[in-house]
Amino acid sequence: MSDFVHVSRTAEEEEDVLPPTEKPNPLAFLDQHVFVRQAVIDKIYGCVVGSALGDTIGLYTEFLPKEQAAHVYPERKFQLVEPATELNVDGHRAMFASRAWTDDTDQALLILLGYLHARTSTPQLLDNDALAQNFASRLKIWVWQGLLALDRHACGIGATTGSIVRSKEFVSDPFGTATERWVKSRRSIAPNGSLMRTHPIGVIGVSMSEEETWSLSVSIGRTTHVDPRCVVSCCIQVALIRSLLRGEIVDEQGLNACIERSYDWVKQQPALMNPGLDDKLTATEIEAHLERKGFEQHVYASSLDDLKLDEARKIGYVYKCLGSAILLLRLAMRKIADLPASSGPMATQSLFEDLLVDLIMEGGDADTNGAAAGALLGAYLGHAKLPLHWTAGLAHKEWLAEKTGRLVVAVGVVDGELGVVKDEAEDGGVGLRSNDELERKAAELMAEVSRKIYAKKEVDKGKSGKAKKKFASWF
């Protein structure tokens, strides 16, 4: 047995030992001024609701070429209050309820609900891995059963997400499943499916460091999308939202700095740059995954025309979505910077609507572009600047507002107790549906789709008949 000798420290050595320091409070900025906290609350609501609005309005022109969007909606006006603007019904749009968001917001809500549920029911499972695993489980249920909390069908599932989530191994190994799918694509697929849903992480990050926020977005985003272009896009989006909420970005200089910090952070992570850590790839091949030239063309675009958002076979490219969201934020900043000092609050009241309409009238993947841009604009302008004829008519608006309010408390912006709420559980508080119930719901949806398409054909027939009569009367 060894002998242990205790050696006491000298008085001089004791003086060199520093006392433990308290970790800085990440929310200390809220107490800098009496109006700061209220402004942050308004911006959090603006981010969450603004994204849902961009998604909802974007459905009007989703998948349409720009020219066709202009033909269908020549007045470029949309409203969700009655009389609500009617969707141009086709096989895709007929699947969605009137004035409601699409799969983009549904998936964002899976992140939000998972975080709230973990905070109230399993606070020991708030680490990145646990939240990512919880999201994967919720995503599997959503693809199979829909958003149970609101009795919504899972419509509009992207090809990449659908193929990955339907894999038998997905829940047990989401990252491995996503990586295998990406490698099989020759490391080429970089769709916007993780970017469209990531904005709640930016809100969660308001009480975290920038690097912690990046890390959480990586963990959740890579459950389905491992391409470095998808990863860097999510990191940029959440970092921008976090900084906008915290008042750390007020101009384009700050915006550009945040973009480049996020890019550099991802570039320095070998596991993110080379998913699966394939040792056969050269350093040059790995660096090329971020496609820097294309990145710059999109995030520093001068106009929506430059982005070619309706470009055939490329509308879902993640850099198009990221670029359009960042461009709208730039345009908003420039508009506000150019206003006379004497301008009142009404000078920017239509800014969110004007920019979102310009974006969705470009066609392409308009709902996803709208969701990402709406999150950034909402975080910058705040909920008070969202158009009332959109917010007042949005389906499930009260429910969404209630969940956003709980998120405000959960991240510590407002003090309060959060009790357990049943519909935040994975099964939406209603239990998973049986196969018979799922078949019945699917049949009801198909019947409703058929009814809408038939009604649209009858309306078109009527218009055609009137046009023929008018033409005949000329002779």
Model confidence pLDDT, tens digit, residues 404-421: 999 999 999 999 999 999
| Confidence band for 474, pLDDT divided at 50, 70 and 90 | very low
How far is residue 410's CA from residue 422's CA, in Å, rounded to a whole number?
A: 16
How far is residue 46's CA from residue 380's CA, in Å, rounded to a whole number?
A: 8
| Alpha-carbon distance values, 163 to 132, 146, 170, 196, 307 (Å) | 18, 16, 10, 18, 28
| Confidence band for 344, pLDDT divided at 50, 70 and 90 | confident
The token duo for 464 is 């055609």
Given this model, what pLDDT does residue 469 score?
53
Residue 111 scores a pLDDT above 80? yes
Residue 19 scores a pLDDT above 70? no
User: Phi and psi dihedrals of 184, rounded to 5?
Assistant: -65, -25
Element (H, E) at 381: helix 366-381
Task: Kindly list the domain boundaries of the chain, sorted by start residue.
Answer: 46-81+98-338+347-458
Residue 43 scores a pLDDT above 80? yes
Report pTM. 0.93
What is the average per-residue pLDDT within 129-153? 97
Given this model, what pLDDT does residue 125 score?
85
Residue 258 scores a pLDDT above 50? yes
Q: Per-residue pLDDT tens for 299-322?
A: 999 999 999 999 999 999 999 999
Q: Which fold would CATH assign to domain 46-81+98-338+347-458?
A: ADP-ribosylglycohydrolase fold (1.10.4080)
The token duo for 1 is 């047995």
Q: What is the mean pLDDT of the chain?
A: 93
| Alpha-carbon distance values, 308 to 311, 347, 355, 371, 423 (Å) | 5, 30, 16, 18, 40
Residue 33 scores a pLDDT above 50? yes
**% residues pLDDT > 70 (the chain):** 93
Instruction: Identify the bridge partners of residue 317 per DSSP, sorted by sequence position.
Output: 191
Q: What is the DSSP string of 199-251?
A: HHHHHHGGGS-HHHHHHHHHHHHTTT---HHHHHHHHHHHHHHHHHHTT---S
Of 241, 228, 243, 308, the C-alpha closest to 276 is 228
User: Phi and psi dihedrals of 440, rounded to 5?
Assistant: -65, -45
Please, are residues 363 and 63 in contact by the beta-carbon 8 Å criterion? Answer: yes
What is the average per-residue pLDDT within 465-471? 52
| Burial profile 242-280: b = 16 or more Cβ within 10 angstroms, e = fewer | bbbbbeebeeeeebeebbebbbebbbeeeebbbbeeeee
Given this model, what pLDDT does residue 18 score?
60
Measure the N-to-C terminal CA separation of the chain; round to a whole number of Å: 117
Please, are residues 298 and 319 in contact by the beta-carbon 8 Å criterion? Answer: yes
How far is residue 367's CA from residue 345's CA, in Å, rounded to a whole number?
A: 28
What is the average per-residue pLDDT within 255-282? 98
CB half-sphere exposure, 343, CA atoms < 13 A: 12
Given this model, what pLDDT does residue 39 score?
98
Q: Per-residue pLDDT tens for 157-174?
A: 999 999 999 999 999 999
By 3-state DSSP, what share of the chain in percent is helix, strand and coil, each rounded to 5?
A: 65, 0, 35
**% residues pLDDT > 90 (the chain):** 88
Token pair 């020549």: residue: 74
In this predicted structure, which of 65-69, 230-234, 458-462, 470-474 has the lowest mean pLDDT? Answer: 470-474
Given this model, what pLDDT does residue 269 score?
97
Given this model, what pLDDT does residue 343 score?
87
